[in-house]
């Protein structure tokens, strides 16, 4: 079944189902999938929260990096850096074709450097806090605006261990 945002069986969960028959490998992969699922649930619960530059709480508003930082802290107790440039230096680099639920996706929305971050959901969708006057929402990586500005992705350590 699908709820329109991501399939009920994420890539991580599918990987866990088809993993080695040894209990240890399946348990490890299930744990990673569960963490990514917790991140997604936390992120989806933020839909509609208003954008505020420098914001780091849902009550006052969240900017893109504050949104990502807040979701990972609340969902997993994991501390990410407080700006998109520093977040882009943390974790493991991920190729676009290898994106998994919970990965951080980065964009250049002002000039050439990284200036925006979101959380990858599944099936080419990501969730983010876009800009002043807007609210946390889901967008497609394939949308022309985002496709032209995509810089790369990182997998936070907490989702790869």
Just list the catalytic residues.
Answer: 64, 116, 128
Q: Six-digit token pair at 8?
A: 């009920």
Q: Six-digit token pair at 118?
A: 């979101």
Dihedral pair phi/psi, residue 120, rounded to 5°: -70, 135
Spatial CB neighbours of 28, under 8 Å, sequence gap ≥ 6:
none
Tell which residue, 52, 64, 79, 58, has the closest CA to residue 133: 52
First to last CA, the chain: 28
How many whole angstroms separate alpha carbon 138 and alpha carbon 24?
A: 34
Q: Six-digit token pair at 153?
A: 């992705």
């Amino acid at each position: 079944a699908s709820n329109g945002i991501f399939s009920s069986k994420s890539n991580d969960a599918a990987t866990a189902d088809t993993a080695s028959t040894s209990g240890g490998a399946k348990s490890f992969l299930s744990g990673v999938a569960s963490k990514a699922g917790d991140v997604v649930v936390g992120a989806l619960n933020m839909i509609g929260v208003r954008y505020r530059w420098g914001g780091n709480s849902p009550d006052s508003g969240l900017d893109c990096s504050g949104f990502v930082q807040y979701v990972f802290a609340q969902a997993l107790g994991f501390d990410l850096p407080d700006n998109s440039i520093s977040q882009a230096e943390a974790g493991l680099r991920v190729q676009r074709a290898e994106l998994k639920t919970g990965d951080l996706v980065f964009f250049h929305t002002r000039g050439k450097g990284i200036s925006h971050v979101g959380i990858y959901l599944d099936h080419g969708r990501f969730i983010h806090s876009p800009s002043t006057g807007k609210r946390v929402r889901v967008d497609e990586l394939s949308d022309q605006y985002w496709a032209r500005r995509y810089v790369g992705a990182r997998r936070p350590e907490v989702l790869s261990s």
